A and B are shown apart, each in its own frame.
Chain A
């Protein structure tokens, strides 16, 4: 099929911190270059969800005057509290010296990364970048030499069975000298590129977490602006690991969330329900009681770090930010590293364009000489230590490594099992009975998805594709009790019965674009692809 073609010097897929920082940096270095950013969300920030406590390190380099320019980083992290929840009611606070110093947040800001992206998009447009929300990049386009030459945007107005509706608009071929992929964790094009160019050769498999987050308006007398709480322990059990966060932002708002590591083995685990009951712990409930939930969302996190980071540069493009996996898990921070990876990519590709090269050859050297490399290198053991030794001994290892050795302990731990391989059969595991939500602190999935403002055109092909339609009934349901109905935080997957026979129902319209199903399906049978443009959540202030 022939597509209409538009050409740019640089094309960027995904308007998040990595992509927008790259766009701004390119224009700062050479304003003559044409830069186009496509974004699948209905607006910049609509699909962005992060904690977040943001280290302004990269922003200081990109826009040294960011305070005067009104960047939405206003609430400084004042107090760090690290707690271990020992049971439904008990907790202990870990003294600061006994916690890895990567968990200290002095100089960082409690912020909405969605709002940071909105602000970065304004700066990018001022610099002459073309930003197009509502246009998903559906496929990678390759040139005859096998390098990347751009992307194909998704068609609009395609019906459920693939038919063209009255409003049909075909996709467009967007071509560029360089294409940067910054789709965030487990981007579907990033995944295709890693396979195509074998970018992860020799690396550990990527590890993921599922982050679920809510934004609350709380009673002013319970609010302590700048308080940053991290913790782990209850209610996760049975080898399931993860951690929670609760940050006091401005305007009497708190953000609260739970990250569940996706290497859990019990298929009865429901991250959503773990999070809902977590909020009943007195340590969290003391702030939330009497408050009102404002928004809800979820997103997978690539947290493997240094040992899992694929080769980022290839002919015609680069993989940046969480699409590659630049998050520093020891600090639970990915925004400054994603931004830095975008800025480094920008610097190397501007050189490459000037030299007429098809590959950003200098990227790896620039990366190795940057603080990004140092930061990721020195935290390389953090996740593997927790996975190998558990939260207590692993935590002790990390405190020793980070506080005594500065991350340079002369050993590198590896975690070589992909998350989806860890799931055990349902019959071998203890079924978990979750308490019913009370409608005050805890809620059900559907009322949660409702306040994520998620909307998809109903009449379109399902964007959650089963590679083999038969596997849910033949394997997932009988052997794993279909874990998708529990790990999906949006109620997309349901097991219904037709004449006594269970079958998997996929409600694609609920999808929050978190990508967990693409990651965790034990048979890797679910493929997440982009739905019609502008579909998905519409997160405010997330």
Chain B
């Protein structure tokens, strides 16, 4: 069984996000970039399925400039077997990524697609769903448990106020939630081995896809700065302030 895992290079979750002075975008110059945490969980899940003998090959796919190879190598150090990079200048929209993944699948014919539920930079939560629609196959989003047997996937989903368990035929798309697993650390020898694993680079033209560029980033605003608080001397003063200054009582 072949699994395709898509990964995105994003600003590291430990880094405080800064907006460029002209509000045109987030400033990424010389900031630490990492694999999107949900994508890392997707890689880990695929590797666990491979270790369990369910999956036989893991293909990691990423879309973006050459730098995304760093995250693809990381996925290979965790256990992915080979990589396909689709070279683009910037990260395209969710729809374009889904179309590129669908196109790649024409050659790959994967049985399982594992994607992060969303990327922590754009927070779109769309690519997995769009891919399932384009391929016209079942999907289970926000997975917290995945079991695969007899050509079917049983997926537990995290929904508001509880869990939903779905059974679906393969091929299918699964998107990962935070509690699906805790990814392993990449060991040093595995990082070295990963450098020698095959990584194919394809252009959008080679794949015959025309990017729709259906969305355009107009501006980015940082959240309003929190005003400093004040200390009150007594409960009465607090009540007075809540009533008269804040007018919430």
Contact = CB atoms under 8 A, between A and B. Distances in A.
Interface of A: 4, 6, 42-43, 45-46, 112, 114-115, 118, 130, 132, 135, 153, 156-157, 166-167, 169, 172, 174, 217, 252, 294, 439, 450-451, 453-455, 533, 538, 540-541
A135 B30 contact: no
A450 B189 CA distance: 33
Given A294-B18, A540-B15, A43 B32 contact: yes
A294 B191 CA distance: 33
Given A538-B14, A540-B32, A130 B185 contact: no
Interface in B178-210: 182-185, 187-189, 191-192
A455 B14 contact: yes
Contact of A112 (B30, B32, B184): B30
B30 A538 contact: no
Nearest to A118: B30
Q: Is the interface of B mostly helix, strand, loop or mixed?
A: loop
A6 B189 contact: yes
Given A540-B32, A541-B30, A167 B182 contact: yes
B191 A453 contact: no
A533 B191 CA distance: 14
B199 to A, nearest CB: 15
B30 A114 contact: yes
Contacts of A167: 182-185
B24 interface: no
Contact of A451 (B16, B21, B185, B188): B16
B189 A4 contact: yes
B31 interface: yes
Nearest to B227: A439
Contacts of A454: 14
Contacts of B191: 132
B12 interface: yes
Given A45-B30, A132-B191, A541-B29, A156 B185 contact: yes
Interface string B6-41: 000000101110100100000001111000000000
Contacts of B12: 42, 453, 538
B90 interface: no
A217 B30 contact: no
Contacts of A252: 21
14 contacts: A6-B189, A46-B32, A157-B185, A167-B182, A167-B185, A169-B184, A252-B21, A453-B15, A453-B16, A455-B14, A538-B15, A540-B15, A540-B29, A540-B30
Contacts of A217: 21
A541 B29 CA distance: 8
A476 B58 CA distance: 56
Contacts of A114: 30
Contacts of B15: 453, 538, 540
A196 to B, nearest CB: 25
A138 to B, nearest CB: 13
The 8 closest A-B pairs by CB, nearest first: A455-B14, A156-B185, A540-B31, A453-B15, A538-B32, A541-B30, A169-B185, A540-B30
B34 to A, nearest CB: 8
B228 interface: yes
Interface of B: 12, 14-16, 18, 21, 29-32, 182-185, 187-189, 191-192, 228
Contact of B228 (A439, A450, A453): A439
Contacts of A43: 32
Nearest to A165: B182
A140 B175 CA distance: 44
Given A453-B32, A538-B14, A135 B188 contact: yes
Given A46-B32, A114-B30, A439-B228, A130 B16 contact: no
A115 B29 CA distance: 10
A453 B14 contact: yes
Contact of B182 (A118, A166, A453, A541): A166
A4 B187 CA distance: 11
Contacts of A42: 12, 14, 32
A3 B29 CA distance: 39
Contacts of A130: 192
B30 A115 contact: yes
Contacts of B32: 42-43, 46, 453, 538, 540
Nearest to A125: B195
Contact of A169 (B14, B18, B187): B187
A249 B14 CA distance: 26
Which of A114, A132, A167, A540 counts the most chain B CB atoms within 10 A? A540
A167 to B, nearest CB: 6
Nearest to B14: A455
A6 B187 CA distance: 12
A132 B188 contact: yes
Given A115-B30, A118-B30, A172-B187, 10 more contacts: A4-B189, A6-B188, A6-B189, A153-B188, A167-B185, A169-B187, A172-B189, A453-B12, A540-B29, A540-B31
A537 to B, nearest CB: 9
A115 B16 CA distance: 18
A166 B48 CA distance: 14
Contacts of B14: 42, 453-455, 538
A439 B226 CA distance: 11
A504 B191 CA distance: 40
Contacts of B189: 4, 6, 172
A115 B30 CA distance: 7
A309 B29 CA distance: 37
B47 to A, nearest CB: 13
B187 to A, nearest CB: 6
A148 B97 CA distance: 51
Contacts of B31: 538, 540
Contacts of B16: 450-451, 453
B209 to A, nearest CB: 31
Nearest to B228: A439
A45 B21 CA distance: 23
Given A43-B32, A540-B15, A172 B188 contact: yes
Nearest to A157: B185
A313 B228 CA distance: 54
Contacts of B183: 167
Contacts of B192: 130
A112 B29 CA distance: 12
Contacts of A439: 228
Contacts of A45: 30
A335 B32 CA distance: 22
